[in-house]
A and B are shown apart, each in its own frame.
Chain A
Amino acid sequence: MFALASKLFPHPLDAWRSASSRTREQWLLAALLATPAIIMLSIFVFYPALQTIGLSFYKWDGISPDMGGFVGFKTFARATDNYPFSQAIKNSLLWGVVGLLVPTIIGLVAAALVEDTNLRPKPLFRFAFFVPYFFSMAVAAALFTRVYDPSYGMINQVIHALGFTDVKPQWLGDGKIAIYAAMGVFVWHETAFCYIVFTAAIQQIDRSLYDAAKVDGASEIQVFRYITIPSVRDVATFVMTIMLIVGLTPFAVVFPLTTPGLGGPYYSTEILPTLIFKKARMGYNASEAAALGVILLLLVIGIVSAFLWFRERTAPKD
């Protein structure tokens, strides 16, 4: 029994003694190279993340010197049993789906259209699709408060110029459409990122594949379906994972876009990060912020793992 245990968990010192000098050198270098990063991650990620989990079971405002009592799941019940929370969950899930699909599909189609055809001049088209990324997400959102303005905003002015003089949607003021307007800014900005990464991936595809397909008489759409899409599969998984994580936490869009800064009319644009920000920074409710943080953590881990598992399972076997 003990022999088995020591085989499964060899004592570090035994391993060190039996290691060659070259192996020892690798261990020392690994320690040297990894330690600074591990210290950074421990202080600023792992330690506060573990604290969040602990804190979520207590009742504490975040200011009092004494931490409140242990209340079990009561904090969770209080943090989740209200309208803003259900709105936030609904919006976050919808936003996750939109983030996963819309910028990636537009970005991929645009990249394929520009790279796989003989459009000229290519750099101009590449520049055009990348332009939104010159603005940071938050700046883009701040600008779109003007683009969406019901009277002088760009969109309603264009609608007006097209002759629809009495159509004046309140893009951000109408609780029914504010969340879609917010997602519009997200799609506008993040498509550029997906576009540039897919452009890089498509440029890397072996050109002889295309030539062979053309000799066989494949149409442009068949080339896209049977050569381009399978070739960029790994890159697509990377891009979609990033979009999923960003789409579940689009704080930089909602915060600047909505007045007074933290949510559209009647919580219509509420998302978990804005709720957490309010409770942690303005509401002085550390425990509820922590409980919501744990929920967000489980949500992101669950959805991203499910997505990666799905991609793994549906991967072509070659």
Chain B
Amino acid sequence: MLPTNLTRYALYALVTLLALPFVFPSAWVLMASFSTNTQITMDSLALPDRLHVENYTHAWTGANFSAFVYNSLAVSGSVTVLIGLLATMLGYAVARLDFPGRRLLLLLIMMAIVTPVFSYLEPLTRVVRHLGLANSRTAVILTTTATFLPVPTLLMRSFFLTLPEELGDAGRVEGASEFGVFRHIMVPLARSGVLTVLIFAFLWSWNDLLLPAVFLQAPDKYTIAYAITTLKPAGFRQDHVTMFAASIISTGPMIIVYLLLMRRFIAGLTVGGLRG
């Protein structure tokens, strides 16, 4: 449809122009993370005189970001596993099992989606205190899992709905129990849906700021997002390069997820996860 080279170049120019605002700030942060504070305050667009890798070692050990990365991985990893399990189980129940109260349960899940966690923040902190979980990573893991669970559950439900029921019936004829149908026929077929849900859970819990901000008081338990936004050790507000280096470090797990899994994530999203 685009016969001439001219329109082709115009298209490249258009897409590049559109991408520029998204790429440029990230590139600026990456460049500045190898610079010095003096250089940044003088001319922040200039290339650094050499690669100041010590910014990264300082962020990692001096500013304790190795601990924050560990905390974030522990929290997001646990949330991802829990949501993967619970969303698969609940999603299958409301999609494929016939039991009284199924519609009510579905309605409750919908209600939970549109109930922002901010609206019940104060009572939630009291629940956590009563459970003896104040100032703990466990509190963040459990509350994050519960508040993020509804959307992945609906994704898994619509995913299970796309699988042909005949497969389950074939299993039943062969003598499989209902649990056997779920565990050995349906779950393996829903693998790409489960992967989609796992990636969503990881992205969202890695992104979250509110629940760590509410439930973590001791700085050694902070997640990396919360640490970057609120920690102000001596001079941290002026120490731009350490903050930039820490931010780049924080992208590591996300980039790994993108490179390893994004292709399958996209496949999983479209095999039925988002329809109906």
Contacts and interface: CB of A to CB of B under 8 A. Distances in A.
Interface of A: 12, 15, 22-23, 25-34, 36-38, 40-41, 43-49, 51-52, 55, 62, 106, 109-110, 113-114, 117-119, 125, 128-139, 141-144, 146-147, 151-154, 157-158, 161, 188, 191-192, 196-197, 199-201, 203-204, 214, 219-220, 223, 234-235, 238, 242, 245, 248-249, 251-252, 255-256, 261, 272-273, 276-277, 279-281, 286, 289-290, 293-294, 296-297, 300-301, 304-305
A223 B2 CA distance: 13
Nearest to B40: A152
Interface in B212-247: 213-214, 224-226, 228-230, 240, 243-244, 247
Given A147-B25, A154-B25, A277-B118, A130 B258 contact: yes
A156 B125 CA distance: 41
B90 interface: yes
A158 to B, nearest CB: 7
B44 interface: yes
B92 A33 contact: yes
A154 B124 contact: no
Interface in B237-271: 240, 243-244, 247, 250-251, 254-255, 258, 262, 265-267, 269-270
B166 interface: no
A25 B178 contact: yes
Interface of B: 1-2, 11-12, 14-15, 18-19, 21-26, 28-29, 32, 40-45, 86-87, 89-90, 92-94, 97-100, 102, 105, 108-109, 112-116, 118-127, 142-143, 145-147, 149-151, 153, 172, 177-179, 182, 203, 206-210, 213-214, 224-226, 228-230, 240, 243-244, 247, 250-251, 254-255, 258, 262, 265-267, 269-270, 274-276
Contact of B270 (A36, A119, A200, A289): A200
Nearest to A131: B26
Given A48-B120, A106-B18, A290-B120, 7 more contacts: A49-B123, A109-B18, A119-B15, A131-B26, A134-B255, A147-B29, A304-B114
B99 A26 contact: yes
A151 B43 CA distance: 9
B127 A110 contact: no
Contacts of A125: 15, 19
A219 B1 contact: yes
A138 B229 contact: yes
Nearest to A284: B122
Contact of A49 (B119, B145, B243): B119
Contact of B86 (A37, A117, A252, A296): A37
B43 A157 contact: yes
Given A48-B123, A134-B251, A192 B22 contact: yes
Contacts of B43: 157
